[in-house]
Structure 1
């Protein structure tokens, strides 16, 4: 069986394992493919809302790839006070799309968006010590709930990809697209079962390649535009003009930053649970500071807020590759994609339906990891079950009914439109209410508790012998004989 041997035989932490250059970049490329569609979607949406030309939108995309790579390197490798040193891929956050489009449509322009991102990120950087102190309020009942909700929240993304990605396209949801996604999914499962350790870990990448080859054969992939445009280009500072600062826009973006801090905290704790490493409040703070400083610098080059990508947490779980250096290799690839638009065009030509097939496994794995965490929670004589039930339900509302909060104030809908932040807020508050502020809690809480503990009288326990067992309501001794049960004395 072929295995890549680690150059660090017994690393102090699982995430510090080094696999070598070739496997690191192979696994890192998987991470890039997993998040590529998400990282280019935001500049596409914002650029179109701002009425930019295709050339300027291309510059936005290149800037987002470039800054996403730098932010990933900062988060994974780290410098003093910045970076969690965990396998987290950074990229443009979806949380701020609605807010940034609103700023553009309100007449502020792209320069006002950049100014709001810079100012709000600096404020977010200043308040990260507060967020880093709340780690004690993230026990498994909270983290498991949030991880599960992350996976559930991402499933509509996978379904949209499998249908073709563009709801306005004539072939959206066609049997051909869904069939291509199904084929990719089948290849992932087949390689996971039949391949050796290396092939199994590369199953996502190999399945995407196989799916793309099939798509080319049936005319469902178009690589004709790969040669169009410059081969290399450097994101120029202030290419789109000097940022402008407006109070209303900054306040709106600050709400997005708060949501980003909550989601990044959840992602850091989620990946630490998958990796099996310890995250202290200091390490959590370092990760949040990396997010904020990356977000503050991004607009200089034409990018937006940066945060950890939840879908890549699923890739860590499914491949079992916990090395942060693998993700750092993915960061290098992102930087190159930002500097070499031709490489970006190659990756962009991968059919969205192919990514959808892989996404079903990736995002489902996130949810499964959360369920595994929830299985370690004690549900006896407490309210943990209702905490999980209510929080997951709260997190699923934006998925099941995307317009649920449309009539609420903008600041409220910005926070709770994300299923991840909805579940995180509810789980944290309910955990505080039931497990920290215990005054008023009943001894055997409600029908939602898993039930009271079973007890046995000392005299009954003393009569049992080694090997006795209960079978179908009967007491059987070690020799297989039934032990008679005395009838109750009617006089007692």
Structure 2
């Protein structure tokens, strides 16, 4: 599609420009395709952690559909806040919002094995955390000094490392099969479905162009879905059964799961809001640089942060998970060169319509867990890679290496120790109050707190000292991608 047929270069760099509908609609849907799978995956992961049955005959089936439905609906609502704005809320930029992976390691301990009973505290935490996130808009410019790439890169890396285990478990057959000790767990039937997704995704990402490349994960999952149908792993009856049991239209219900304040949930969501806010600031800067060739204004950064928080708080009221800006859509704007916020508004409307139709969620639910595993292995691996990319901007002197080493060792160590603890068994944090135990088990928050504190208090003089004694002679002078 040639830009000359859509508008002049000046128009394409203008967020307020509306391209012709024949081009705006497919461009808007393209934004949805780029984020669709990543947007609904956290809801499926949280449902699995809570112990929801994925079969259409399961008593939890309606709740699973509802969580998927809310992921789509409130991603659309939060995106509209960014593009259309409400007072100071929103950046008036083409920012696509979606369910955040960053909060998954915080949410899983809150709901693990509790079924529906764990959701009241979870969504109350989402609501309060969202309000706190919105309040960060007042001070976001003044707290960024405490969150340099050394800290944010470490946190993103930790998020990815916490999630990769989930991807492998899904690809091998899912946690229920693992818990049963089933021979089907890790079988070739499971791995082959995941491998189809990975191979197709990588093939399209690197050898295709345009829409196919952008939607590689979505197409890869579709290929895995077809593979499971052909091999009989996914019976046609499972699809028709899910479709018939889901309503054609349904509205969200406020406080569907009740209201319950959990100190661990509130603290966890509020602390992770810092990371999400800084991520959004980076995405806003990426959009204005890539699409308009300029720096983001203070008004845009503040408005985007307000919208992040308000969108999350509203989602929490109705049973939706925390929202954040989606980085993959930032790259899409840079690639298409179309800066129009109205294009993204069209995509937001499409997401809202999907969220109001539970039958769409029912179809998503029929994706075999192994197929989803293939997709999330790629996505979660990209989260790790994103963290490493951010860390490449760090000057690796001895001071920064010490900060990173201590924070990573404690955070990752707690995370791995918690993962290896059998239900009802003891763990390294068993003597802490329950709130601190839940927060510490994620590993992410301890790592973030340690990195922030050490980065603020360690003397800068260490930055000039040699690194051999802590790195075995490997000097850390590279500044990574900044010089490439």
Query: Which category describes the TM-score, using the shorter chain as reference length?
Result: 0.7 to 0.9
The verdict on how the C-alpha distance between 1:330 and 1:410 changes in structure 2, with shifts beyond 3 A counting, is farther
1:432 aligned partner:
456
- Tell me the alpha carbon deviations over residues 362-410 of structure 1, each in whole angstroms, 9 at most, x when there is no partner: 2222322332332332234x51222233333344334422356642323
State the 1:339 CA deviation. 0.8
Distance in 2 (CA, whole Å) between partners of 1:357 and 1:320 is 27
Q: Identify unmatched segments of 5+ residues in structure 1.
A: 454-492
Distance in 2 (CA, whole Å) between partners of 1:40 and 1:272 is 28
| 2:370 aligned residue (346, 353, 376) | 353
1:448 aligned partner:
470
State the 1:141 CA deviation. 2.4
Normalized against structure 1, the TM-score is what? 0.72
For the 8 Å contact 2:123–2:320, the answer to whether it is kept is: yes
Listed as ranges, the matches of 1:270-285 within 5 Å are 271=283, 283-285=300-302
- Tell me the alpha carbon deviations over residues 212-239 of structure 1, each in whole angstroms, 9 at most, x when there is no partner: 1111101122422243134432325447
For the 8 Å contact 2:36–2:218, the answer to whether it is kept is: no
SS at match of 2:323: strand
1:161 aligned partner:
170
Query: Which stretch shifts more, 4-13 or 199-208?
Result: 4-13
Listed as ranges, the matches of 1:121-160 within 5 Å are 121-122=130-131, 125-126=134-135, 129-130=138-139, 133-160=142-169
Query: Which stretch shifts more, 414-423 or 6-15?
Result: 6-15
State the 1:451 CA deviation. 5.3
| 1:401 aligned residue (417, 420, 423) | 417
- Tell me the alpha carbon deviations over residues 172-193 of structure 1, each in whole angstroms, 9 at most, x when there is no partner: 3222111111121111222233
SS at match of 1:227: helix
| 1:414 matches 2:438 | yes
1:179 aligned partner:
192
| 1:369 matches 2:390 | no
| 1:34 aligned residue (33, 38, 46) | 38
Distance in 1 (CA, whole Å) between partners of 2:125 and 2:48 is 19
1:9 aligned partner:
9
Distance in 2 (CA, whole Å) between partners of 1:115 and 1:272 is 28
Q: Identify unmatched segments of 5+ residues in structure 2.
A: 420-426, 478-484
State the 1:208 CA deviation. 1.8
The verdict on how the C-alpha distance between 1:431 and 1:300 changes in structure 2, with shifts beyond 3 A counting, is closer
- Tell me the alpha carbon deviations over residues 431-474 of structure 1, each in whole angstroms, 9 at most, x when there is no partner: 2123xx54x74852562376599xxxxxxxxxxxxxxxxxxxxx
For the 8 Å contact 1:230–1:341, the answer to whether it is kept is: yes
For the 8 Å contact 1:145–1:392, the answer to whether it is kept is: yes
Distance in 1 (CA, whole Å) between partners of 2:217 and 2:29 is 14
For the 8 Å contact 1:89–1:308, the answer to whether it is kept is: yes
Query: Which stretch shifts more, 265-274 or 409-418?
Result: 265-274
Normalized against structure 2, the TM-score is what? 0.73
| 1:260 aligned residue (266, 269, 272) | 272
| 1:385 aligned residue (401, 412, 421) | 401
Listed as ranges, the matches of 1:229-378 within 5 Å are 229-238=245-254, 240=256, 249=261, 251-269=263-281, 271=283, 283-301=300-318, 303-308=319-324, 313=327, 331-378=348-395
For the 8 Å contact 2:31–2:332, the answer to whether it is kept is: no
Give the number of equivalent residue pairs: 438
User: Which structure shows the higher helix fraction?
Assistant: 2
* RMSD of equivalent CA atoms: 4.3
